[in-house]
Amino acid sequence: MNTRRITLLSAILILAMLGSSYYAIPNLWAPVLLSAEHWRSGMRVGRAYAVSREFIFLEGGRGEETIVMIHGFTANKDHWTRFAAPVGKRYRVLAVDVPGHGGTPNVPGEDLGFEEQAERIHAFIAARGLARYHLIGNSMGGHLAGTVASRHQNEVISLAMIEPHGMAHRAPSQFDELRARGAEPILTRSSSDYKRLVSMTFVEPPFIPYPVAKIFELDAIARADGYANFLPVLFGRDVAHLEAIAPTITAPTLVIWGDSNRFLNIDMMAPLQRLIPHSSGHVMRGCGHTAMVERPAETAEVYLAFLSYISSLEAVRREVHDAAPASSR
């Protein structure tokens, strides 16, 4: 057997082994594929210490202003990666793992309420040296973003909430009906549980490479008991917390809702907008619960248009202020 044939056979064997490992050893491939996703979106992993823990986050983009992105329950910072790619062309972007999710731990025994978690997020933001910033969050993260905006009004330039948790239910969703029958669809203790969660979350699931999807599934199963500690707050004490604080949010606010959301009924959108003094809304047709994951480019386009609008309003305000006589200011 000549050298060329041996080399060819060796190459085929190596490729076959790599191909089989793609499905057999997802732990091998997932970090590589996630790093590639971060690189394509111009993001890098960072660490910051605040309130007795290390926060893990993604950071990237460019621009004078920073957008802080807060993910939902049982999710992590990687839910923002594809959305951050177009947004990062005009703004600095910062996607953080909420305490108890991703790489950011909870301190045992600490209160998991929204006021308390929001202050931990705010401590992280302060540790990054941000005095003024935009906030955007999804689901639980939208509720947390709204809480930070309510408590730190002078710091938040704008707020966007994508299908936020925290409103009294106007009409039961599929998720509510499952919980009423004794199920807990938000927790995944098996592969079938995880597949059900994914099918409920998206109308058209985005492409996620198998090793990454598998690692996300295994991580969700491993964390189920830890996530269960949040349920008394999410569906008990703070279930309508956002509704209570919404009138105190002073920042210009955008509310985005998928009209096919199976977790949080779109009937909550209009009441929330009415409660927030300076709010606007956008409905994503045929979209599920995490618009920034399911349709990242479209969601980013809507969001950037909102930021451009409030930026133009601020420019007009400054012109009027500068043109006014000093005695009238």
CB-based contacts of 212, cutoff 8 Å, min separation 6: 26, 29, 30, 33, 34, 37
> ∠ CA(118), CA(85), CA(77), 5° rounding?
35
- The whole-number pLDDT of residue 24 equals 73
For residue range 164-223, list pLDDT tens digits in order. 999 987 788 999 999 999 999 999 999 999 999 999 999 999 999 999 999 999 999 999
Mark 267-276 as b/e (b = at least 16 C-beta within 10 Å): ebbeebbebb
Helices (H), ranges, the chain:
3-24, 26-40, 81-87, 114-127, 140-151, 174-180, 191-201, 210-222, 224-228, 231-232, 241-245, 269-275, 291-294, 296-323
In single-letter form, the type of residue at position 117 comes to Q
pLDDT of residue 6: 52
pLDDT at residue number 316: 62
pTM: 0.92
Q: Which residues of the chain carry a pLDDT beneath 50?
A: 9-11, 13-17
Sorted by where each starts, the structural domains of the chain and their CATH numbers stand as 35-174+239-322 (3.40.50.1820)
Q: How far apart are CA 181 and CA 195, in angstroms?
A: 19
Distance CA 242, CA 251 (A): 15
Cα 318 from Cα 265, distance rounded (Å): 39
Find the helix or strand (DSSP H, E) in which 70 lies. strand 66-70
pLDDT of the residue at 23: 76
pLDDT of residue 176: 92
